[in-house]
Amino acid sequence: MQHLILRCKHCQREYTYCTYGNGPEYGTEEGCSMDYCAECQKAIDKALNKIPVKFKGKFQEINEPRLIPLFDKIKAACDEKRKTPDGIEWPAMTQMFCCGNYDNLDKYTHEGITYRVEYNDDTPDEKHIFVEMEYDIKNKKFTGNLWKGEYKDSYLHGRNTSRDWVRKIGKLTKIEPCPLSPPLGKLFFMDFDHEIDDFEWEVVTNKQIPKKKKEHVLRSYTIVRDGGQIKSDIEHGYACDRSTVVLVGFTSDSLIDFIKYEVTVESYEDENIVYFKDIHCV
């Protein structure tokens, strides 16, 4: 998790953006983005929400078998790039998908056009070619324009897992129940540091395990946070359990938001209070 100090591309106000999430619990403004502060980003979202999405990319089947040699050439070039200097070829990545009417889906990009070639295992020569086109959402029709994408040649093989599962399940004409022995209440484990590798021990259920009582033991460690983050800890609580923060030897007014401080944190195990003390700049 990182806190980045950014400047809004519209209003030019400086703000803090958290890569993990944004909001008071992270010490940042809810709704901000990498480009805009929360106020501007919310205004942009509100304005754009009034404008419906009008077009999208959608694949349309075409009849042009002369594209197949081009696809073979792109695939061969991509396979060649996966070879190491020693001639070892890294296995190609297979993308899994679970819809469609074909077993295989090969995706190609060339000159800004995205193609899909779909075919079944039993008829690999019967290839169906699709191209990504611009689709008018409101009028529910293709416009005839291409949906432009990457200009770099690429190839990716896809496999329809749903059709594979249907075939496998269809071969299971009858599933016989497998008799199991009753539970013994024992667990198996291996200890590699012992001469005998196989052990068993009795299981103790959660109801039998007494809850460990927290002891009044003082824990102490140091953290580095900027002044703004420390102020957020004071307002919203510290760490996952949102412990109450008590300042010792300094006040929050004495902190500068963008200065980093090293703080000693002390707390007792059985208390939901943490003490910030011994603060200095780093």
**Above pLDDT 90, what percent of the chain?**
62
Taking a C-beta distance cutoff of 8 angstroms, is the pair 142, 58 a contact? yes
Three-state SS for 105? Answer: strand
**Average per-residue pLDDT in the chain?**
87
Task: Write down the domain spans for the chain.
Answer: 3-49, 55-84+93-171, 218-281
User: pLDDT grade, residue 202 (50/70/90)?
Assistant: low
Residue 48 has pLDDT above 90, yes or no: yes
State the maximum Cα–Cα separation within the chain, in Å, rounded to a whole number.
79
Question: Comparing 135 with 209, which gets the higher pLDDT?
Answer: 135
**Above pLDDT 70, what percent of the chain?**
87
User: pLDDT grade, residue 15 (50/70/90)?
Assistant: very high
Rounded Cα gap, residues 27 and 239, in angstroms: 12
> Please, is 136 exposed, middle or buried when counting C-beta atoms within 10 Å of its C-beta (0-12, 13-18, 19+)?
middle
Tokens of 100: 């469609």
User: pLDDT grade, residue 205 (50/70/90)?
Assistant: low
Residue 207 has pLDDT above 80, yes or no: no
pLDDT digits (tens, 9 = 90+) for 147-185: 998 889 999 999 998 888 877 777 776 667 778 888 776
- Of 115, 116, 81, 82, nearest to 97 by C-alpha is 116
Q: Which long-range contacts (CB under 8 A, 24 or more apart) does 112-117 make?
A: 112/146, 112/148, 112/149, 112/150, 112/151, 113/146, 113/148, 113/149, 114/57, 114/147, 114/149, 114/150, 115/67, 115/71, 116/59, 117/68, 117/71
> Please, is 179 exposed, middle or buried when counting C-beta atoms within 10 Å of its C-beta (0-12, 13-18, 19+)?
exposed
- Of 216, 273, 280, 267, nearest to 245 by C-alpha is 273
Residue 188 has pLDDT above 80, yes or no: no
Q: Any idea of the CA torsion for 138, 142, 146, 148, to the nearest 10 degrees?
A: 40
Rounded Cα gap, residues 86 and 253, in angstroms: 63
Rounded Cα gap, residues 130 and 146, in angstroms: 12
CA 82 to chain centre: 26
Q: How many residues does the chain have?
A: 282
pLDDT at position 83:
80
pLDDT at position 191:
56
Three-state SS for 66? Answer: helix
Q: H or E stretch including 48?
A: helix 38-49
Rounded Cα gap, residues 90 and 81, in angstroms: 9
- Of 44, 64, 160, nearest to 103 by C-alpha is 160
pLDDT digits (tens, 9 = 90+) for 80-124: 887 877 767 676 677 787 778 899 999 999 999 999 999 999 999
Three-state SS for 191? Answer: coil
pLDDT at position 187:
66
pLDDT at position 189:
60
